[in-house]
Structure 1
Amino acid sequence: MTSAPDPFPVTFSAHWQEELDQLFVWRRDVRHFHTEPLPEAVLDHLLRTACLAPSVGLSEPWRFVRVDNPQRRAAIRQNFLHCNARALEGRSGEDAQRYATLKLAGLDDAPHHIAVFCDTNPEQGRGLGRSTMPQTTTWSAVMAIHTFWLAATARGIGVGWVSILDPDAAIAELSINPHWQFLAYLCVGYPADPSDTPELERRGWERRNPARRRWLHR
């Protein structure tokens, strides 16, 4: 008879597992924030936790940049407004009207702005696991974003991902290494309108597709 494998050194209770499921449900893209800043130690802890994310070849390619300078924040806001206006121009009729009513960023109220970049070819890791799929450095950095997001949600802190930006302009506006890949601009703070349902679903823009909750067998 084959014996059962040794349990994982750290075990989690059924109650903790249920709470983890709730964490996934409540991890939402937040766009409405209170202006009260987070305690510095809390924000620092979230960033350190994000760096526990897995990475191909232990390359740790993520690069988090806190954007505190008002002029740089203003430049990012103009970047967003310009890109959002162009996106609106590409729509017409009722679709354009509905798009115009959506709140797509929390740039004005969020007390903390964090830009996330990826060093797509870092020396760390010495290329392990990247010869056939070099994109894995980017995916690793996205894992760090998700780790940050979950850690924030667990503490009642909201995160909003601003994706309507010109990446090249953002790199220039933030005076960042031009060889880094711009991935995300995160608004962070206490949520003013927390919900377990995506705002785009609440506003009738889109609905979840049950078919996406299935998987294939081969």
Structure 2
Amino acid sequence: MLNELITKDERDAVYKTIFSRRDVRKEFLPDPIQDTVLQRILMAAHHAPSVGFMQPWNFIIVRNIETRKKIKEAFVLAHEKAAQLFDEEKSQKYRKLKLEGITEAPLGICVTCDRERNGPIVIGRTSIPETDIYSSVCAVQNLWIAARAENLGVGWVSIIDNVKLKKILGIPNHVVPVAYLCLGHVSHFQEKPDLERTGWLPRLKMESVVYDEKWPRDT
């Protein structure tokens, strides 16, 4: 039963899944994903928490390779633009990073936020209107954890022009693309996140990001 207490083994499995989740870019295999598995992952995403229970998300499944090539072209343009923002040393290192698997993964999923769903006034969104976007991000996280539990990799392509992405996928004006995700079987999962493993940035110690009661004065 869903309302039963979580057992120790179930708890440990959840933590293992969270800590072994990775942003996958270059380990994708071309093997297709079973429809039953994809439906389980999407159902997990659909059961994310949402402000006012507005469930603002939609999931666009992108299998067509020609469509994914267009998305890859949009990534390449945004990637080159981003490379020019760093100093020369950092730019060279940035260009060597593999930051997407758009055509390597067998499919993509665009997670969106319909900001007009259930009308202009939503419980919990009256003071912080961005909570509908946050809700869709929760769906992304659910999807990612569920995919890892299915031994599938997910890669979030955040280097992309949303205007171009909306045009490619025919997304209405009032709907916001929140995440374009690459999904597929992988050859392996890395021990550490790519950007940590390659020395781009270290993982912060937890004690450096946890404060008691209020924000400290000396930060």
User: In the TM superposition, what is the alpha-carbon distance from 1:33 to its structure 2 partner?
Assistant: 0.3
What amino acid sits opposite 1:29 in the alignment?
D
User: In the TM superposition, what is the alpha-carbon distance from 1:92 to its structure 2 partner?
Assistant: 3.3
Contact 2:37 2:150 (C-alpha < 8 Å) held by counterparts: no
Partner of 1:64: 59
1:159-208 deviations in Å (ceiling 9; x for gaps):
00000000111001111112101111000001223124111111111111
Contact 1:55 1:141 (C-alpha < 8 Å) held by counterparts: yes
What SS does the aligned partner of 2:42 have? helix
Determine whether 1:117 maps to 2:93. Answer: no
| Residue of 14, 19, 37 corresponding to 2:32 | 37
Deviates more, 1:189-198 or 1:26-35: 189-198
C-alpha distance in 2, partners of 1:124/1:158? 35
User: In the TM superposition, what is the alpha-carbon distance from 1:75 to its structure 2 partner?
Assistant: 1.2
Deviates more, 1:75-84 or 1:185-194: 185-194
Q: Pairwise CA RMSD of aligned residues?
A: 1.7
TM-score by length of 2: 0.91
Partner of 1:138: 133
Partner of 1:158: 153
Determine whether 1:127 maps to 2:155. Answer: no
Determine whether 1:86 maps to 2:81. Answer: yes
Deviates more, 1:196-205 or 1:124-133: 124-133
Aligned pairs, number: 211
Partner of 2:18: 24
What amino acid sits opposite 2:201 in the alignment?
E
Amino-acid identity (%): 34
Partner of 1:148: 143
User: In the TM superposition, what is the alpha-carbon distance from 1:85 to its structure 2 partner?
Assistant: 0.7
What SS does the aligned partner of 1:83 have? helix
User: In the TM superposition, what is the alpha-carbon distance from 1:213 to its structure 2 partner?
Assistant: 4.5
User: In the TM superposition, what is the alpha-carbon distance from 1:12 to its structure 2 partner?
Assistant: 1.4
User: In the TM superposition, what is the alpha-carbon distance from 1:215 to its structure 2 partner?
Assistant: 3.0
Deviates more, 1:151-160 or 1:12-21: 12-21
C-alpha distance in 1, partners of 2:162/2:106? 22
Contiguous gaps of at least 5 residues in structure 2: 215-219
1:110-159 deviations in Å (ceiling 9; x for gaps):
01111111011211695121111111110011101100111111111110
Q: Is the alpha carbon distance of 1:137 and 1:192 closer, same or farther for their aligned partners in structure 2, counting shifts above 3 Å?
A: same
What amino acid sits opposite 2:199 in the alignment?
G
TM-score by length of 1: 0.91
C-alpha distance in 2, partners of 1:69/1:108? 10
What amino acid sits opposite 1:217 in the alignment?
E
Contiguous gaps of at least 5 residues in structure 1: 1-7
